[in-house]
């Protein structure tokens, strides 16, 4: 979250909280209805306790017959039995299911939303933070707000009845409690503001301290801490953080003391006044024993209810803050809109025409153009390569082709049709990609290869793909074959694959279905030289008829491509076959020679 918590107008606080309640109402109306009922029921229970007290003592005082009292107590027992059973029915049996179902329904909506989100949203840290927050907090915030409302209903009912009771016993005491509650609320609000301010000041310090704590127990840092003097550095930083935290506390010490003493002192004065007042009335006989006992017993509860209402209302702005993020997320419209035209059946060509692209401006200002006026054409069966230094724009280009982003200028054409007019899901599924940073899912091998639910009629596809990716050897060693569950994320018998094996699964994906275009984004990054060598040859053999785009900064991989595009600073600076580019003696040749230098020197004489 941000270091500073922003201020928001009352209207936003109100509308956001109403929004979330409306959301819950639509997704799970039973939750709202039950919450209201529960609040009212508890309001009645809470006031009943004092009323019982009052009635019994008046009866005692008046010397009523025991049988009447016994009957009263019997009725109360029955009341407790019924309300107790209702309470458990709700909280133990119904409420957990309601909460989980709400979680499911809210997340289903969020996930569908997230799925249609532009990839660009993930690059915008501010948006991304809010997005993660929306995901993390959505249902728990909704539950908090609804439960809070239930509690408020309860407090209002209870304090209302009890206050009326007090008023009938003695209006002066009732007036006194109103006055004291109002005064202490003012003081409390001031204290609340102070607490908030102190928290804000402490937040970065708390984060730092928990970070340092983490570094000591995470295995990631263990080696560095043992071999360098980082431990001393961390300890010194930690001590400094502690001192700073203490000085923040010091700054507010006397203020908190004042708040505390004032609120407490007012409470004591109220207690003293009530006791003395009721005592003298009791002696004078203007109040009965029941009234005396009920007043003394109730005054604390009313005060507590009032106080609790303030505290709960004060929490709504915080809720609103989180809901705002959730709301904003739900309202975000993807800029990459699917087109209508169905994708043609046979692939002929893919053309980039004067394509430029800039990532949206980050927090630090100017958007930087990543691609500038790039034009290239790929025909069916072509093998092309995109090469260049880190950050030249190779991966960006791929993301544009996959329509994860739209170009800022220029067009991308599929069989001559602008891809923006094509059906988005259909189009994306025409392109098979092995990402540099591929991810495996906690699912079976088959599902990881197909990237969708496995059905028996897909067996041949899975086998063929795993074979093409050279995974068969490993597959035979697995007891459950391609039904083996990957990762131990939530299954203890799951299998963890090594980096190289995982990569083979990722590669198998592009062989599981026929694709128009296959993109290999540095697929050999995790492999050692011999495995890389084998992989490159394998891919080329398997993809004899397919259209393939290779991306790499290792020129040994890309040399096999028929046509090579050299990218530098977002432009295509050179293109042609390996031989042509070498003959030209430009940047490509320089890069190739640098990489080859030591090899050539040693091997050529041999």
Partner 1 sequence: MALFRRKQPDAAQEKKKKLPLRQVWQNNLFALRLIWRAAPLYFIFYFLSTILYAIVDFLSGAFLLRLIVNNVQSGSPPAQIAAYIVGIVGANLLINILSSYMWNVKLVGDYHRIEASIRQMMFDQAQRVELACYERPEFYDKYVRAMDGANDHVRQVMYTLDGLIWRVTGLIGNSILIFTIDPVFIAFAAIPLLLGFLRKKNNKNKHDCDTDLKPYNRRKSYIRRTFYLADYAKEMRQTGMYLRLLEDLRENLDEFKRIHRKYSLRRAVYELIMKLGTQVVTVLGATLYATFRALVSGSMLLGDCLVVISSIGDISNALDDFVVKLAEFHEHALYLEDMRTFLSHEPAIAENPDGDMPKGGTIELKNVTFRYEGADTDALTDVSLTVRPGERIALVGHNGSGKTTLVKLLLHLYEPTAGDITLDGRDWRDFNLTGWRRQFSTVFQDYRSFSFTVAQNVLLRPTADPDADRALVEQSLRESGAWEKVETLDHGIDTVLTREFDDKGAVLSGGESQKISLARVFAEPERPFVLLDEPSSALDPIAEHRMFENMMRATAGRSVVFISHRLSSATTADRIYMMEKGRVIETGTHAELMAQNGKYADMFRKQAENYVGA
In what order do the strands lie in the sheet containing 383-388?
A: 431-434, 517-521, 547-552, 383-388, 563-568, 571-576
CA distance 5 to 27: 30
Q: Which residues contact residue 311 at a Cβ distance below 8 angstroms, ignoring those fewer than 6 apart?
A: none
Residue closer to partner 1 (CB basis): 13 or 591? 591
C-alpha pair distances (Å), 161 with each of 44, 184, 230, 599, 606:
8, 22, 63, 91, 101
Residue closer to partner 1 (CB basis): 231 or 481? 231
Q: Both tokens of residue 233?
A: 């550095």
Residue 602 in contact with partner 1, rule: CB under 8 A: yes
Give the contact letters, 143-162, x = binds to partner 1 (CB under 8 A), - = no: --------------------
Q: Which of residues 60-79 bind partner 1 (CB under 8 A)?
A: 60-61, 63-66, 69-70, 73, 76-77
C-alpha closest to that of 91 among 170, 37, 13 = 37
Phi–psi pair at 31, nearest 5 degrees? -65, -45
Residue 452 in contact with partner 1, rule: CB under 8 A: yes
3-state secondary structure 510-530: CCCCCCCEEEEECCCCCCCHH
CB of 383 to partner 1, least distance (A): 15
Task: Write down how long the chain is.
Answer: 606
Residue closer to partner 1 (CB basis): 543 or 591? 591
Q: Which of residues 251-270 bind partner 1 (CB under 8 A)?
A: 253-254, 256-257, 260-261, 264-265, 268
For partner 1, the binding residue among 107, 151, 312, 353 (CB under 8 A) is 107
> ∠260-265-266 over CA atoms, to 5°?
110
CA distance 318 to 316: 5
Give the contact letters, 387-426, x = binds to partner 1 (CB under 8 A), - = no: --xxx-------x--x-x----------------------
Q: Which of residues 482-511 bind partner 1 (CB under 8 A)?
A: 489-491, 499-500, 509
Q: Which of residues 333-362 bind partner 1 (CB under 8 A)?
A: none
Please give the size of the binding site for partner 1, defined by CB under 8 A.
Answer: 159
Name the one range near partner 1 by CB under 8 A: 316-324, 352-360, 414-422, 529-537.
Answer: 529-537
Q: Which of residues 542-601 bind partner 1 (CB under 8 A)?
A: 553-557, 559-560, 591-592, 594-601
CB of 316 to partner 1, least distance (A): 26
Q: What contacts 24+ positions apart, CB below 8 Å, involve 420-424?
A: 420/337, 420/339, 421/339, 421/340, 421/341, 422/339, 422/341, 422/342, 422/343, 423/338, 423/339, 423/340, 423/341, 423/342, 423/343, 424/336, 424/337, 424/338, 424/339
Residue 437 in contact with partner 1, rule: CB under 8 A: yes
Q: Which of residues 224-253 bind partner 1 (CB under 8 A)?
A: 224-239, 242, 245-246, 249-250, 253
Phi–psi pair at 520, nearest 5 degrees? -115, 100
C-alpha pair distances (Å), 123 with each of 26, 119, 129:
32, 7, 10
CB of 500 to partner 1, least distance (A): 7
CB of 553 to partner 1, least distance (A): 5
CB of 581 to partner 1, least distance (A): 14
C-alpha pair distances (Å), 80 with each of 40, 85, 273, 497, 508:
15, 8, 34, 59, 65
CB of 69 to partner 1, least distance (A): 5
Q: Which residues contact residue 101 at a Cβ distance below 8 angstroms, ignoring those fewer than 6 apart?
A: 28
For partner 1, the binding residue among 33, 286, 348, 441 (CB under 8 A) is 441
Q: Which of residues 109-128 bind partner 1 (CB under 8 A)?
A: 110-112, 114-115, 119, 122-123, 125, 128
Residue closer to partner 1 (CB basis): 413 or 442? 442
CB of 15 to partner 1, least distance (A): 26
For partner 1, the binding residue among 21, 40, 172, 296 (CB under 8 A) is 296
């Amino acid at each position: 979250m941000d270091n500073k918590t922003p201020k928001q107008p009352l209207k936003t606080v109100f509308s956001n909280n109403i929004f979330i309640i409306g959301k819950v109402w639509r997704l799970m109306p039973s939750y709202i209805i039950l919450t209201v009922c529960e609040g009212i029921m508890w309001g009645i229970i809470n006031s009943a306790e004092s009323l019982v007290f009052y009635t019994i003592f008046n009866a005692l005082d008046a010397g009523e017959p025991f049988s009447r009292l016994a009957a009263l107590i019997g009725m109360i027992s029955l009341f407790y039995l019924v309300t107790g059973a209702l309470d458990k029915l709700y909280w133990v049996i119904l409420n957990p299911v309601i909460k989980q179902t709400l979680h499911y329904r809210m997340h289903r909506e969020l996930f569908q939303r997230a799925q249609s989100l532009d990839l660009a949203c993930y690059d915008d840290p501010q948006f991304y933070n809010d997005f993660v927050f929306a995901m993390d907090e959505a249902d728990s915030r909704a539950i908090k707000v609804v439960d809070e409302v239930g509690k408020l209903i309860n407090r209002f009912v209870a304090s209302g009845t009890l206050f009326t009771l007090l008023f009938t016993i003695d209006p002066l005491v009732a007036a006194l409690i109103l006055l004291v509650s109002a005064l202490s609320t003012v003081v409390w609000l001031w204290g609340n503001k102070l607490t908030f301010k102190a928290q804000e000041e402490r937040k970065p310090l708390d984060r730092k301290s928990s970070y340092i704590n983490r570094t000591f127990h995470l295995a990631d840092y263990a080696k560095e801490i043992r071999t360098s003097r980082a431990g001393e550095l961390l300890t010194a930083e930690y001590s400094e953080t502690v001192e700073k935290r203490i000085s923040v506390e010091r700054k507010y010490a006397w203020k908190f003391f004042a708040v505390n003493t004032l609120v407490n002192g007012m409470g004591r004065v109220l207690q003293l006044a009530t006791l003395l007042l009721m005592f003298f009335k009791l002696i004078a006989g203007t109040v009965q024993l029941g009234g005396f006992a009920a007043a003394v017993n109730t005054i604390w509860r009313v005060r507590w209810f009032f106080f609790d209402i303030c505290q709960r209302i004060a929490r709504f702005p915080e809720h609103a803050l989180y809901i705002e993020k959730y709301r904003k997320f739900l309202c975000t419209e993807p800029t990459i809109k699917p087109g209508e035209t169905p994708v043609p059946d046979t692939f002929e060509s893919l053309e980039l025409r004067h394509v430029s692209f800039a990532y949206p401006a980050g927090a630090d200002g100017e958007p930087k153009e990543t691609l500038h006026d790039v034009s290239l054409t790929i025909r069916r069966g072509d093998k092309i390569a995109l090469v260049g230094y880190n950050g030249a724009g190779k991966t960006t280009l791929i993301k544009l082709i996959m329509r994860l982003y739209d170009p800022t200028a220029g067009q991308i054409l599929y069989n001559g049709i602008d891809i923006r007019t094509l059906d988005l899901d259909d189009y994306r599924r025409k392109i098979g990609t092995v990402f540099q940073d591929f991810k495996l899912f906690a699912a079976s091998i088959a599902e990881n290869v197909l990237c969708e639910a496995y059905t028996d009629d897909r067996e041949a596809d899975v086998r063929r793909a795993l074979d093409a990716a050279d995974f068969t050897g490993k597959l035979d060693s697995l007891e459950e074959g391609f039904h083996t569950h990957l990762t131990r994320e939530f299954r203890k018998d799951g299998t963890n694959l090594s980096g190289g094996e995982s990569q083979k699964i990722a590669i198998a994906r592009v062989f599981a279905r026929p694709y128009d275009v296959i993109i290999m984004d540095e697929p050999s990054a995790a492999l050692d030289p011999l495995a890389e060598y084998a992989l490159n040859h394998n891919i080329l053999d398997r993809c004899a008829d397919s259209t393939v785009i290779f991306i790499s900064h290792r020129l040994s991989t890309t040399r096999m491509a028929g046509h090579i595009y050299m990218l530098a600073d977002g432009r295509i600076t050179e293109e042609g076959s390996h031989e042509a580019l070498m003959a030209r003696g430009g940047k490509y040749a320089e890069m190739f020679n640098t990489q080859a230098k030591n090899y050539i020197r040693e091997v050529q004489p041999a």
